[in-house]
Structures are given as C-alpha cells and as structure tokens.
Amino acid sequence: MSDKVIPILDQRSGQALPKLPAQMLPPTGLLADALGRPLRDLRISVTDRCNFRCSYCMPKQVFDKHYEFLPHSDLLSFEEITRLARVFVAHGVQKLRLTGGEPLLRRHIEALIEMLSEIRTPEGLPLDLTLTTNGSLLARKAASLKAAGLQRVTVSLDGLDDAVFQRMNDVGFPVAEVLAGIEAAQAAGLGPIKVNMVVKCGVNDQEILPMARHFRGSGVTLRFIEYMDVGATNGWRMDEVLPSSEVLARLREEFDLLPLSASVAGETAERWSYDSENAGGQGEIGLISSVTQAFCGDCNRARLSTEGKLYTCLFAHRGHDLRALLRSGASEAELSGAIGLLWGARADRYSQLRASGVSSLGDGERRVEMHYIGG
Ligand code: SAM
Ligand code: SF4
Ligand code: SF4
C-alpha cells in the first residue's frame, strides 16, 4: 500500500443527535425495524486501540504513531455502557458481544463484565455474554474473565504458520501465544470457543486446510470470514476476496462435510459438520460470506461505538450520538424512546445493495472504521 495519509477523524465525528418520540412508550422487547427485523444482538466496542495492526483492519500506514486515538474521557464509562445495555435488553437484545479494537486492552474489563452479567431479559433470563479478542492477552486473562461472568470467547487467528500470521498482524505476534490463549480459555470454561480466520487471497489462503486439520475434533469451531470492504483505509480489492464457495471446495477435497441448519435466527455463519459419517463428532466449521452472499435479510445486530454512537449497520457512515443523550441527563424513558425510534427507522442492507451493484453511500460519505465500532 502507498504511504497515503487518510484523515478518518471526519467520519468518526459524522453523527446525528437522536430524536425523542412525541409520546414515550415503555419498551416491549418486540421492536422491529423498517424491514421487519428485530433487535437481538448488541456489539459494544470498549476501546478503539489495539496491539495488532492487521492489514485488513488497522493498516500500519494509517494507524501509526501520529494517529489520534480517542482520549479516555470520550469513551463510555462502564456505568454508561451498562445503562444503555439495559435499555437495549428491554427492547429485545439477548446477546452482548464486547469487542473493539482489542477489548482486553480496556483496563478493568472484568468489572464491566460483572456489571453486564447481572442484566436479565424481560423474561428473567441471563444474556448471552461474549467477547471477541485477538487472543494476545487471553492466556493471562481467561480465568478472571470467566470469574467475572463472561460465558464465551471468539478468538481471531488468521493462520498457523508464523510467517503468514505475523504478516497479517504486522506486529510480529507469534501463533503459539494465541494458541495458548485458546487453550487457557477452554480450560477456564469459556466455550464453546469460536476461532475467526479472515481469508485474504494470496496472503493466507494456504492456511485454510492446516487450520481445519488443527481444529477438527478440538471442540473449537473454526469460521472462515470473507475479507470485507469495511472502513476506508484497508485498500480493499475484490480480487483479494476468496469466496466462501472456494473455501468450501478446498475443504471438501479433504473432508466429507455435511451441511447443518442454522442454530439461531440471524446467524451469520453457514455451518458444516466435519464428517457426514459421524455428524457432530469432530465438531463443525462455519463460513461467513459477507461479500458473496449478503445476509442483511435477517440482520438483527446493532453496534455501539467506543464513544457511544449507535450504528445500525457495519458499513454505516454515520452514528447516532447516544452519549450526548446520556450526558445531557436523559431519563430511562427518553433513552428507550430514542433507541426505539432509531431502530424503527432502520432500513440498512449495505451488503445486499453491494451485491446488486448499488452503493448506499452518498458523495463524500465514508464508511466507519471496524476497530472503532467493533466487528
Ligand atoms: N481485536 C479483536 C479481534 O481481532 O478479534 C476484536 C475486534 S476485530 C475488529 C473483530 C473481528 O473483525 C475479527 O475477527 C477480525 O478478524 C474481523 N475483521 C476486521 N477487519 C475485517 C475485514 N476487513 N474483513 C473481515 N473481517 C474483519
Ligand atoms: Fe486489532 Fe482485531 Fe483489528 Fe486485528 S482485527 S487490528 S486484532 S482490532
Ligand atoms: Fe447487517 Fe449491514 Fe451487514 Fe447487512 S451489511 S448484514 S445490514 S451489518
């Protein structure tokens, strides 16, 4: 990539102040957006910082020593995150995923997990509380995360070959330490664990089969993710995307895969069992085809950025400033009313439009960066 400097602060500050409804109604947990999709999944970015510089997410050329990360006072506090999470849960959210940046870099993250783990759905059920991490600090933190109330982790790992993985993370981080993190998470009971591998054609696609062999029968579900055009800095090109159909073809050369049905509505991964003879016995594999097979139709995910902006799509160019509302002293009813209005107006389906050759961005609009709103 060239040395071009891309000013991305503009698009971080692109925001809209949420409106309040004329009449405040209590949340019912049955919210539907403009396309009839419920709100079930909230991803919370707890930091915009990361100790990796994955080329597809935070390329070094842009996220260098001059890049201005958010000051601590701009981040939502744990109390603010928990307060918002409660309102989202009242509107139907059943799953919370902590992400970033690298969420384990946020200090005292265990305290936030403890607070979130106390939230119950309107039916009195605990939430599905999970976290996505690059695994670098997991060996050290797995036991304390579990003790704080975290249920599961997803770990990102883009290959087993050190040279390939280090080229992807671009900070020379070794594979062995991520594998040690995964083992520690398994030992701590943070399962079932998922491992995400972003496949970049010509960079790490030779790692597909070694990764599948490694995780087969391990209790860990490996998921291959198509390299996406998130953000505006990774220099994305379609010819670097290896379609999931091609990943599947390569896997089928070695494994006798059997299709599995979706375990929950709105699931992003197409699931396959390793062995048709022994369905489930050796575990499963997932394919996430965000580029070649859009799954906007049942997308039930909202994203809360590090500084408290609500994004109703991963590819949005604009967030809604819930922090401003919180810090202006809004009541529970006002927060709830504003979130209800925002979700009710949601008509995002970026990937579907991309697949049909239509851009949902206007002139001069740029997509928000992944490390800032979380994956
Ligand atoms: N730092 C943590 C990690 O890497 O797991 C959490 C945040 S990261 C933004 C969340 C997920 O997004 C990771 O699994 C990462 O591989 C994925 N991701 C980031 N950029 C991507 C891209 N351009 N295409 C596909 N997946 C991407
Ligand atoms: Fe960091 Fe995760 Fe982005 Fe890699 S994918 S740069 S680990 S936030
Ligand atoms: Fe959901 Fe937006 Fe992704 Fe479609 S493009 S699946 S609406 S996040």
What pLDDT shows up at residue 28? 86
Q: Mean per-residue pLDDT for 24-42? A: 92
Q: Mean per-residue pLDDT for 286-301? A: 92
What pLDDT shows up at residue 14? 53
Count of positions (residues) in the chain:
375
CA-nearest residue, atom 19 of ligand 1: 57
What lies within 8 Å, CB to CB, of 113 at 6+ separation is 98, 129, 131, 145, 148, 149, 150
- Say which residue, 136 or 266, is predicted with more confidence: 136
How many CB atoms sit inside 10 A of residue 146's CB?
Answer: 20
Q: Mean per-residue pLDDT for 53-74? A: 95
What lies within 8 Å, CB to CB, of 174 at 6+ separation is 162, 165, 166
What lies within 8 Å, CB to CB, of 75 at 6+ separation is 46, 47, 306, 307
What pLDDT shows up at residue 7? 42
What lies within 8 Å, CB to CB, of 297 at 6+ separation is 35, 37, 349, 352
What pLDDT shows up at residue 355? 78
What pLDDT shows up at residue 8? 45
- Decide if 112 contacts 79 (C-beta within 8 A): no
Tell me the pTM: 0.93
Please check the confidence at residue 4 and state whether its pLDDT lies above 50: no
- Decide if 8 contacts 364 (C-beta within 8 A): no
CA-nearest residue, atom 6 of ligand 3: 296
Distance in Å, CA 88 to ligand 3 centroid: 18
Structure tokens at 192: 């079932």
- Decide if 238 contacts 357 (C-beta within 8 A): no
How many CB atoms sit inside 10 A of residue 304's CB?
Answer: 27
CATH number of the domain located at residue range(s) 41-193+302-373 in this protein: 3.20.20.70
Distance in Å, CA 215 to ligand 3 centroid: 28
CA-nearest residue, atom 4 of ligand 3: 296
**261: confidence class by pLDDT, cuts 50, 70, 90:** confident
Q: How far is CA 96 from its chain centroid? A: 10
Q: From the alpha carbon of 268, which atom of ligand 3 is closest?
A: 6
Ligand nearest 53 Cα, by number?
Answer: 2
198, 199, 372, 373: which to mutate for ligand 1, most atoms within 8 A of CB?
A: 198
Distance in Å, CA 147 to ligand 1 centroid: 25
- % of the chain residues with pLDDT over 70: 92
Tell me if 99 CB under 6 Å of ligand 1.
Answer: yes
Structure tokens at 63: 């996220």
Please check the confidence at residue 125 and state whether its pLDDT lies above 90: yes
DSSP letter string, 291-335: TTS--GGG--EEEE-TTSEEESSTT-S-EEEHHHHHHTT--HHHH
Tell me if 44 CB under 6 Å of ligand 1.
Answer: no
What pLDDT shows up at residue 41? 97
Q: Mean per-residue pLDDT for 294-302? A: 92
Please check the confidence at residue 48 and state whether its pLDDT lies above 70: yes
Tell me if 57 CB under 6 Å of ligand 1.
Answer: yes
φ, ψ for residue 303 (rounded to 5)? -130, 135
Ligand nearest 317 Cα, by number?
Answer: 3
Please check the confidence at residue 298 and state whether its pLDDT lies above 60: yes
- At residue 344, what is the residue type? G
- Say which residue, 147 or 30, is predicted with more confidence: 147
Alpha carbon of 58 to those of 9, 198, 268, 371: distances in Å?
A: 14, 14, 23, 7
Report which of 204, 193, 251 is spatially closest to residue 227, judged by C-alpha positions: 204
Please check the confidence at residue 90 and state whether its pLDDT lies above 60: yes
Distance in Å, CA 374 to ligand 2 centroid: 9
Distance in Å, CA 226 to ligand 2 centroid: 15
Distance in Å, CA 226 to ligand 3 centroid: 14
What pLDDT shows up at residue 370? 78
Compute the distance between CA of residue 128 and CA of residue 50 in angstroms, rounded to an integer: 25
What ranges do the domains of the chain cover? 41-193+302-373
Q: From the alpha carbon of 196, which atom of ligand 1 is closest?
A: 14
Please check the confidence at residue 9 and state whether its pLDDT lies above 50: no
- Which residues line ligand 2 at a C-beta cut-off of 6 Å? 50, 52-54, 57-58, 100-102, 134, 156, 371
What pLDDT shows up at residue 359? 67
Please check the confidence at residue 260 and state whether its pLDDT lies above 80: yes
Distance in Å, CA 370 to ligand 2 centroid: 8
Crossing angle for the helix pair 244-252 and 208-215, nearest 10 degrees? Answer: 60
What pLDDT shows up at residue 262? 75
CA-nearest residue, atom 5 of ligand 1: 133
What pLDDT shows up at residue 57? 94
Average pLDDT of every residue of the chain: 91
Structure tokens at 77: 């506090």
pLDDT of 310-366, one tens digit each? Answer: 999 998 888 999 999 999 999 999 999 999 999 999 999 988 888 777 766 666 666
Q: CA dihedral in degrees (344, 349, 350, 353; nearest 10)? A: -140
Ligand nearest 48 Cα, by number?
Answer: 2
Tell me if 315 CB under 6 Å of ligand 3.
Answer: yes
φ, ψ for residue 154 (rounded to 5)? -115, 130
Please check the confidence at residue 183 and state whether its pLDDT lies above 60: yes
- % of the chain residues with pLDDT over 90: 75
Ligand nearest 348 Cα, by number?
Answer: 3
Q: Output Rg (C-alpha) for the chain, integer angstroms.
A: 20
